[in-house]
Each structure stands twice: as structure tokens, then as C-alpha cells.
Amino acid sequence: MARKIVILTGAGISAESGLGTFRDEGGLWSQHRIEDVATPEGFARNPTLVHRFYSARRQQAAAAHPNAAHHALARLEAEWPGEVVIVTQNVDGLHEAAGSRAVLHMHGTLAGALCATCDHRWPAPPEMTPTTPCPACHAPRARPDVVWFGEIPYHMEEILTHLSEVELFAAIGTSGQVYPAASFVQEAASQGAETVELTLERSEISRAFDHRHFGPATEVVPRWVETLLG
């Protein structure tokens, strides 16, 4: 039986599609304070600012195209004789746009709206404001369906089940600074999985991996997939 592969992706895989990362020089966190735009407290203080931040990113993501790294992972899922699961921290839809089907968005998605009053979910309009009403309860409490600091990431039970069965774990384009995603490599290694990191440069968690490939995702990911598929 072919090995089960779990792939964790981060902002770096979408960088060459024109979407900014968070912690690189000039990244999103150098332009905005995390506590202002990525916490429930920041949203309560200034929902206009938070909606402006996410509406701009929603429109940018909608105009972006998957790159060679997204396409290589879709090819891996299609051609690998075993199971391939992508756990993405990214809120863009570029894995799906490339053709990947088994994708878990642990930090939510820009394409979704969530009612902070009744938890109803619906497709987000390109532009949301503090007065955008919930179509179910009509409260003007729409928020982006993303996971902020202090909130519980989505699909955790399913992700932990996949990590308990994984035989090859890869992390692509993530700095390893945000938990629980940063601890998945230890989780996978403790199950006896082989682990590989593919990212631009050494990260906070590089030492935890068995193998490391540094370089732009559009180069290292297609090469890695080619090797796996033989």
C-alpha cells in the first residue's frame, strides 16, 4: 500500500501567486498590527478596519491564479496511489483552483462569511462592512469566516486523525510560528512518519524535519512531487 501523505501549507506557497505572506519583510504584519486585524478583540474595537483589511485581501485572492506549486500538489493527489491530504493555513482558494480536492482550511476562508450572532455561514460578498446583515437572523454582525488568534482552528479532530495515520508529512511555505500548526511535525514524527520541509529559507522549526529543501515553492515543490511520482 502506498504511504499516506499529509501536507501542511502556509502563506509561502501562494507568495508567487502575488499574495503577501505575514512575517516576511514587507509582509502583512509589517503593515498591520496583529492585535488590530487578527483577533476577536480587534474586530470588536474596530470592525470597519478589519472588514477593510479582509475585503481587500478577498478581492486580491479572487483575482489570483494558482502557481506551479499548487498545480504540482494537485497532480500528486491525482497520481499518487495512496491518500494525499492538504491541511492549509491559507484562506485563499488556490489549492482548489489548481484541482486539489482533499483540502482542509484550518484557518477558514476568505470566501466565507460568518454571523457572530447566530453562527450562520454564507458565501462572502467581495466587500463586507459592519452593517452587512446575516441572511438568517438579519443581525448586522457579519465577520469573515477566518480563525483569529485565541480562536480554535477548524477541522482539528479530522486533522489529528490524519496525523495519527500519516507516513509522510510535508510542510510547505510556513514559518512555524503559529500553533497548533507548528506542532504538526512533532505529532507526525511521533507516529513514525518521515518529515520534510519545503520553504524559502530556514524556519523556526527546520530542525524538527528529517529533510529540508530550501527555495521558491514553484521550484522545490514540483521537483519534490516529480521525485515522489518517480
Residues 138-167 that bind ligand BJW (CB under 6 A): 146-153, 156
Q: Least distance (Å) from ligand BJW to the CB of residue 138?
A: 26
Scan residues 98-127 and list those touching ligand BJW (CB under 6 A): 107
Question: Toward ligand BJW, which CB reaches closer, 137 or 214?
Answer: 214
Measure Cα distances from 58 to 51, 63, 85, 198 in Å: 10, 9, 24, 26
In the complex, least distance from residue 127 CB atom to ligand BJW, rounded to whole angstroms: 17
What is the C-alpha separation between 203 and 91, in angstroms, rounded? 21
Least Cβ distance, residue 1 to ligand BJW (angstroms): 30
Helix (H) or strand (E) holding 148: none
Candidate list 107, 138, 155, 213, residue with the active-site label? 107
CA separation for the pair 154, 158 (Å, rounded):
9
Can 95 be counted among the known catalytic residues? no
Instruction: Give yes or no for residue 137 binding ligand BJW (CB under 6 A).
Output: no
Closest distance to ligand BJW from the beta carbon of 154 (Å): 10
Residue 208 to residues 54, 90, 192, Cα–Cα distance (Å): 33, 22, 13
Residue 1, classified by CB atoms within 10 Å of its CB into exposed (0-12), middle (13-18) or buried (19+), is exposed
Which C-beta is closer to ligand BJW: that of 54 or that of 138? 54
Residue from 173, 209, 224, 225 touching ligand BJW (CB under 6 A): that is 173
For residue 196, which of 165, 221, 159 has the smallest C-alpha distance? Answer: 221
User: Is residue 186 part of the contact set for ligand BJW (CB under 6 A)?
Assistant: no
* Helix/strand/coil for 122: strand
C-alpha cell at 178: 503559529
The contact set with ligand BJW (CB under 6 A) reads 10-12, 15-16, 21-24, 27, 38, 89, 91, 107, 146-153, 156, 173-175, 177-180, 199-201, 203, 216-217
Query: Which residues are identified as catalytic?
Result: 107
